[in-house]
Chain A
């Protein structure tokens, strides 16, 4: 079983007792790219979420980087944030937890665009 992550360390079970004998069985694990490839997006032309990287530079929490379930907030070398709206679940997590007024401009994609869950 191969497990790749886009960033950070490889497979770690934060809760695992160090003494656990066998490596845990893992099923359905895929790279983050392959994970997102399971979701349909009708990408609109207008970016429905815009992140002002300049505002992010003074942010001390960067909770969006950890919490966005689509992993769309990528820290840049110069302390800003690189954001791409295309594979967004439109869940609202980022604007709810954002630490800086004005960093995130959040709207829904235009009608008919954006995520389309086949199961949900």
Chain B
């Protein structure tokens, strides 16, 4: 199809342009290409993944749709067989550690990856399916036709208008396309966290020994109580010959806290429960990226006439305390967006009503079903008591249980609980209310 451009030359129009070759964009482009549509996948970085940073674990089940036996080709660091949840105070740590060998063999569960490798691999799948990947190109805004309908994107290439029947915005947490279309507010620090991470080099054998791993087995530690006055959490993931350590910090609180992000990581790394793991490690890469944490209650409209939004751009990241799943949710929403766009292209109705199947598909699938079920989690997990008081309460309770009090008899559990609650300034009725709320939120 040809379309006259302002300068008189004919500019080709494609069926779809997908902005952002992160997991959401590559999945959307793959789905469109598989449906036989012409699709351009735009990426501002020099290669897919170059701008992207995360903690470290991709849950690959959703990849079954894209490549059967993907585990034979995906650029993996380690397969997660150990998952630990750690609750800490400055001098205490309680860890719940789970291990299963089932996660260490096909079809696997979670894997640590570097985004520079993983995103490039996934974009390659879209290209194999027939999408055209264009890197080093920023989509600078939306193109509109005479009637004001979205008709493609402007880019920072000379003469860089890209006409398309439909635009899929997969441009990540800052999505300026979703902002331009007025689907999301320009700023929203209340529902964003800043993730900062260090990649630390350690010899493979040392990682194996310290974390009880063999071969390509990996460990994932999620940490609560390590961010002081700033609501958030921490993580430690093992890669082949590096360990990723980082923290996630509430944007609404970080700036006022007086503590710089790298200081919060430094304190986590110096914690007596973490420091021995890192002895001798050297810094290989430092970085930062935002995370949308609003969840179901703060999701924007997911489409408008001529445009769909997927992945972090639509707040699809599941950040609910012990879960931090963004990549699989980005892929799931990207696939759904690509399919919805393909159906709309077939029917010829690219208006919002023609695209409404997108939301319905997401609600039926894991993406919005999980978000809906866990919609109370972000508020609860980032609440003052869960962040500031319960780690100490739990740690004091366990310390009391295991501190031998001879010659006095062991105190009863209720006495210990009362003491721990008093020390950490927790009222038992609040604890009970939060337990009920937690039961409801995570049911």
Chain A residues proximal to chain B, CB less than 8 Å: 3, 11, 13-17, 20, 24-30, 32, 34-36, 38-39, 42, 61, 63-64, 66-67, 69-71, 89-93, 95-97, 108-112, 114-120
Return the CB mask of B142-177 against A: 1 if under 8 Å, else 0: 000000000000011100000000000000011010
- Residues in B with CB closer than 8 Å to A3 are 266
Most buried by A among B54, B261, B276: B261
Q: Which B residues are in CB contact (< 8 Å) with A64?
A: 255
Q: Which of B137, B156, B157 has the most CB of A within 10 A?
A: B156
Give the top 5 A-B pairs by smallest Cβ distance, nearest first: A63-B255, A112-B136, A69-B288, A120-B115, A24-B270
Q: Decide: A66 and B156 in contact? CB cutoff 8 A.
A: no
Q: Could you tell me if A91 and B156 are in contact, using CB atoms closer than 8 angstroms? A: no
Nearest to A8 among chain B residues (CB) is B260
- Which residues of chain B have a CB within 8 Å of any CB of chain A? 44-46, 49-54, 89-91, 114-116, 135-138, 155-157, 173-174, 176, 187-189, 192, 194, 196, 198-200, 228, 239, 242, 244, 251-252, 254-263, 266-267, 269-272, 275-276, 278-290
Q: Is the CB of B194 within 8 A of A67?
A: yes
Picked from A13, A38, A95, the residue with its CB within 8 Å of the CB of B285 is A38
From residue A61, how far is it (CB to closest CB) to chain B in Å?
Answer: 7
A contact residues around B116 at 8 Å (CB): 117-120
Q: Which of B46, B263, B282, B289 contacts A28 (CB 8 A)?
A: B282
Q: How many angstroms between the C-alpha atoms of A38 and B266 in the bound complex?
A: 16
B186 to chain A, nearest CB (A): 8
A47 and B126 CA atoms in complex are apart in Å by 33
A14 to B271, CA, bound (A): 12
Find out whether the CB atom of A91 lies under 8 angstroms from the CB atom of B289.
Answer: yes
Tell me the nearest residue of chain B to A32, going by C-beta: B262
CB of B196 within 8 A of CB of A69, answer yes
Interface centre among A36, A63, A69, A119 (most CB of B within 10 A): A119
Q: How far is the CA of A65 from the CA of B55 in the complex (A)?
A: 24
Do A120 and B53 have beta carbons less than 8 Å apart? yes
Q: Which of B46, B53, B280, B281 contacts A112 (CB 8 A)?
A: B46
Bound form: Cα–Cα A25–B272 in Å: 8
